[in-house]
Amino acid sequence: MASFSVIDSFKLSKKKFFRAPQWELKLAIRILIGFLVLYFLAAFLFLGIGIYFIVQKTVPDQNPVFFVNEFLIYYFGIELLIRYFVQNLPITDIKPLLVQPISKNKIVQGVMLRSLGSFFNWIPMVILVPFGIVYSLNEPTTYTLWIWVIGVLFISGINNFLVFFINKNRVVGLSVFLLLLAGSFFQHVLGIPLLSFFGKGFNYLYLHPISIVVPLALFFGIVCAQYFFLKKQLYLDKGFSEKKERIVGSDLKIFDRAGILGLFIKNDIRLILRNVRARQVVFVGFLFLFYGIIFFSQKVYLESYVMLIFAGVFTTGGFMLSFGQLVPAWDSEYYSFLMCQNIPYRKYLESKLYLMMFSVVISMVLSLPYLYFGLKIMTIIIACAIFNFGMGSFITLYSGAFNATPVKLNVKAKAFENTQNFSLTQLLFTLPKIVLPVLVFYVPFRFFGFSAGILGMILTGLLGLLFRGFLLRAIEKTYQKRKYKTLSSFKKT
Amino acid sequence: MITVTDLSKKYGGTLVLQLPELNIPKGQRFGLVGNNGAGKTTFFSLILDLIESTSGRITINEIDVKSSEDWKPFTAAFIDESYLIGYLTVEEYYYFLGNLRGLSTKEIDTWVLNFESFFNGEILGKKKYLRDLSKGNQKKAGIVGSLIGSPDLVILDEPFANLDPSSQIRLKKLIENIAKNSEITFLISSHDLTHVTEVCDRIVLLENGTILKDIKTTSSTLKELESYFSLKE
């Protein structure tokens, strides 16, 4: 029984990777992503080193530790939320191990240890440890500082395991998000410092090192809870059983009037409502709505129109870009079925196009609060929306013809593993989607000023609408030409 | 109904299918047998224009499948689970197919009742997504789906596999009934020699991509096929 160790569990993961189809390409992508991860880790490292000096400069009379504590609740809240969307226990991988002579303890330990390797567990470490070192070099410190660091790291560890339980329940996930939102609303808008209590709690950890028993107890508590929970789940009818899903989105009669087009739109709505991966992408598209805040609220960017156009394109086209770039891959699971049905290709493409256009309208309406930043910003947003509506949508649809990597509909994409649909051609196609709007704005803007730039964007959008039939035909031809290629790559998973 | 001329399909350098000539007349129940890798699914995929032939052509009702899409309105197929849309319920799937083929939702509701005994109460009104059905029930749902809108040509790949014994027998009766009352052409591949000889009036045996036998089914056909496959051991 003892021969199967945690190391063997890692070995299996390794084999799974190297024996997957196209692993060479995946390896190349992994290396690229490795660099990206390194970049982020380095950035966080510098943040960790820098925090002390930043606080010294901006609020010299506050203890940097207390300053950091104020932010920790936001950090953990957001971390939990991101983990909720991307972190998953690799529980199905272990199904074949069940009938092997491996003790259940070993299996569960393997799964739980592997989850500790998650990127999210590294972030607080690379921030807090350098912060602690810098702090202790500059201030007289005692061991309490390191107790605090360890305590906070354990809280992040709690998150790592907590997310597993939250994952089981969508309501809990949503309420974490809403609580955080409500908390910051009370704190910043109403001036009731609810979230500061958490900051005080973390301060307490620093001032009274004995209180580290609280995070420690919670950590070991949740580890044990998960351990025993998972052990009980190692049965086919428990952890591996497919949950019976509630049927959602069955009543879509309003689209019946739209004929064949309505049929496809109905399918697409159901696709989004009923599949994990699609919901995930839509959520990402939703997050893009907030992209503008970063740019519109900063004086630096207000000087540079190029950045504002970027922001406008992403804010109004987030869903279009994230959902649209996976057309036709959304239908990859049954693409051969679609191809031998009595379906005009054109109608299929049109329904996807309308869905994207519709999303741009919704995004624009939801962007109306940006009026707060002034009329100029609003003008940019509206111009970007018109561009996305009339031109961006066509480019996105066209680029889809070259994306032949299948999408697993009901499987979550993991953090930094969202490479399922990564390809060089896709990367190339993001250029016109982002650079073109900047270009059609910037060239007239350079010569005739702001209004001309805005007009340039609007006209480009209208041009796309005017030549709608022509563009659709061209796109249809491209899809048809690539049909066999697409079909054969959709077959590979 | 289907005419094949000089058809060949190569993957890399290997020839996987070579059919110099094959005619399948209207209303025939055409059975295709052969071991794995014989080229059955490749042939079906070529008919449905899902892969490109290396040479030669296939026509359905005189329509070249490669250069026109006009064969699609009267052709239906169920090859595997990827012919289902996993996130739809059975009813939604049938409405989708039926509406595409010009039937109204009400017409589909009444039409589907014809298959109640085949479904054995396990398919309709279950409030389940197709992806959550068992393999056998997915197959039943898919086979019936391919019959919606009375197409002229129905292609079924391994329809008997994964079905429980009662359903296999019901499926045989179903196909025979349809054949009696209509002119639908069936193309059926199967590993189950008993079933395929009972259902089909013509059997073609494929081996390494070529036709070894082309038999009009008689009472001795099953023996003939069985002796062929047992000699191969």
- The b-or-e profile of A307-326 (16+ CB within 10 A means b, else e) is bbbbbbbbbbbbbbbbbbbb
pLDDT at res. A242: 60
User: Is the torsion defined by CA of A137, A139, A144, A145 positive or negative?
Assistant: negative
User: How far is residue B49's CA from residue A169's CA, in Å, rounded to a whole number?
Assistant: 44
Residue A420 has pLDDT above 50, yes or no: no
- Put simply, the answer to whether A340 touches B49 (Cβ < 8 Å) is yes
Neighbours of B108 (CB within 10 A): 19
pLDDT mean across residues, chain A: 83
Give the global pTM.
0.77
Residue matched to tokens 């057309």: A327
Residue B153 has pLDDT above 80, yes or no: yes
User: How far is residue A327's CA from residue A441's CA, in Å, rounded to a whole number?
Assistant: 27
Mean pLDDT to the nearest integer, A240-247: 66
Residue A442 has pLDDT above 80, yes or no: yes
User: Is residue B112 within 8 Å of B40, Cβ to Cβ?
Assistant: no
Residue matched to tokens 């952890």: A239
pLDDT mean across residues, chain B: 91
pLDDT at res. A1: 44
User: Is residue A230 within 8 Å of A112, Cβ to Cβ?
Assistant: yes
Closest by Cβ to A334, choosing from B49, B52, B85: B85
User: Is residue B183 within 8 Å of B25, Cβ to Cβ?
Assistant: no
A463 close contact with B: CB closer than 8 A: no
Q: Please state the φ and ψ torsions of residue A409, each to the nearest 5 degrees.
A: -65, -45
- Put simply, the answer to whether B128 touches A244 (Cβ < 8 Å) is yes
Mean pLDDT to the nearest integer, B64-93: 91
Closest by Cβ to A342, choosing from B51, B101, B129: B101
| Strand B14-24 with B2-11, pairing | antiparallel
A340 close contact with B: CB closer than 8 A: yes
Helix, strand and coil content of chain A, in percent to the nearest 5, comes to 80, 0, 20
User: Is residue B153 within 8 Å of B109, Cβ to Cβ?
Assistant: no
pLDDT in tens, B159-200: 999 999 999 999 999 999 998 888 899 999 999 999 999 999
A275 close contact with B: CB closer than 8 A: yes
Residue A403 has pLDDT above 70, yes or no: yes
Residue from B74, B90, B100, B107 whose CB has the most chain A CBs within 10 Å, to mutate: B100
Judge residue A225's burial from the number of C-beta atoms within 10 Å of its C-beta, 0-12 exposed, 13-18 middle, 19 or more buried: middle
User: How far is residue A183's CA from residue A456's CA, in Å, rounded to a whole number?
Assistant: 43
pLDDT at res. A166: 77
Query: How close, in Å, is residue B223 to chain A by CA atoms?
Result: 36
- Put simply, the answer to whether B99 touches A409 (Cβ < 8 Å) is no
Query: For B227-230, which contacts have Cβ atoms below 8 Å and span 24 or more sequence positions?
Result: B229/B35, B229/B193
Q: What is the ipTM of this complex?
A: 0.90
User: Is residue B135 within 8 Å of B159, Cβ to Cβ?
Assistant: no
Residue from A269, A337, A347, A351 whose CB has the most chain B CBs within 10 Å, to mutate: A337
A142 close contact with B: CB closer than 8 A: no
Task: Tell me the percentage of chain A whose pLDDT exceeds 70.
Answer: 89
Domain spans, chain B: 2-231
pLDDT in tens, A44-100: 999 889 888 888 888 888 888 888 888 888 888 888 888 877 777 666 667 777 777
Residues of A within 8 A of B77 (CB-CB) are: 340
Residues of B within 8 A of A334 (CB-CB) are: 82-86
Residues of A within 8 A of B50 (CB-CB) are: 336, 339-340, 484, 487
Closest by Cβ to A340, choosing from B50, B105, B128: B50
A87 DSSP assignment: -
Residue A467, token pair as written in the block: 């030549």
**For helices A170-185 and A64-86, angle between their N-to-C axes, nearest 10 degrees:** 150
Residue A20 has pLDDT above 80, yes or no: no
Query: For A371-380, which contacts have Cβ atoms below 8 Å and span 24 or more sequence positions?
Result: A373/A296, A373/A297, A376/A450, A377/A292, A377/A296, A377/A308, A379/A454, A380/A305, A380/A308, A380/A309, A380/A312, A380/A454
Mean pLDDT to the nearest integer, B205-230: 90
- Put simply, the answer to whether A343 touches B131 (Cβ < 8 Å) is no
> Which ranges of chain B does DSSP label H, i.e. alpha helix?
40-47, 90-100, 105-112, 116-119, 135-147, 165-181, 193-199, 221-231
Query: How close, in Å, is residue B139 to chain A by CA atoms?
Result: 14
pLDDT at res. B158: 93
Q: How confident is the model at residue A417 (pLDDT cuts 50, 70, 90)?
A: very low
Residues of B within 8 A of A260 (CB-CB) are: 99-100
User: Is residue A313 within 8 Å of A387, Cβ to Cβ?
Assistant: yes
A329 DSSP assignment: G
pLDDT at res. A168: 65
- Put simply, the answer to whether B77 touches A244 (Cβ < 8 Å) is no
CA B40 to chain CA mean position, Å? 11
A267 close contact with B: CB closer than 8 A: yes
SS3 category, B33 = strand
User: How far is residue A123's CA from residue A386's CA, in Å, rounded to a whole number?
Assistant: 39
Neighbours of A402 (CB within 10 A): 17
Closest by Cβ to B127, choosing from A247, A274, A342: A247
B→A contacts (Cβ < 8 Å), by residue, are 45, 48-52, 72-73, 75, 77, 79, 82-89, 92, 96-97, 99-101, 105, 127-129, 131-132
Residue A401 has pLDDT above 80, yes or no: yes
pLDDT in tens, A339-370: 888 887 888 899 899 989 999 999 999 999 89
Give the containing element (helix H, strand E) for A420: none
pLDDT in tens, A426-437: 667 777 788 888
pLDDT at res. B10: 92
pLDDT in tens, A129-153: 999 999 888 888 778 888 989 999 9
- Put simply, the answer to whether B48 touches A488 (Cβ < 8 Å) is no
Residue B216 has pLDDT above 50, yes or no: yes
- Could you write out the DSSP letters of every residue in A218-261? HHHHHHHHHHHHHHHH-STTTTTSPPPPPP-S---GGGGGGHHH
Topology of domain B2-231, CATH? Rossmann fold (3.40.50)
- Put simply, the answer to whether A484 touches B51 (Cβ < 8 Å) is yes
- Put simply, the answer to whether B83 touches A334 (Cβ < 8 Å) is yes
Dmax (CA) for chain B in angstroms is 53
- Put simply, the answer to whether A274 touches B72 (Cβ < 8 Å) is no
Residues of B within 8 A of A258 (CB-CB) are: none
Q: How confident is the model at residue A422 (pLDDT cuts 50, 70, 90)?
A: low
Domain spans, chain A: 6-233, 253-491
Residues 6+ apart with CB under 8 A from A9: A106, A107, A110, A111, A113, A114
User: Is residue A265 within 8 Å of A282, Cβ to Cβ?
Assistant: no
Residues of B within 8 A of A328 (CB-CB) are: none
- Put simply, the answer to whether A484 touches B132 (Cβ < 8 Å) is no
SS3 category, A343 = coil
Task: Tell me the percentage of chain B whose pLDDT exceeds 90.
Answer: 69
CA B22-B24-B28 angle, to 5 degrees, is 150
User: How far is residue A115's CA from residue A203's CA, in Å, rounded to a whole number?
Assistant: 29
Mean pLDDT to the nearest integer, A202-220: 89
| Strand B185-189 with B153-157, pairing | parallel
User: How far is residue A451's CA from residue A458's CA, in Å, rounded to a whole number?
Assistant: 11
Three-state helix/strand/coil letters over A103-117 = CHHHHHHHHHHHHHC
Residues 6+ apart with CB under 8 A from B98: B104, B105, B107, B108, B111, B148, B149
- Report the chain B residue with the minimal C-alpha distance to residue A483: B50
Tell me the β-bridge partners of B155: B77, B187
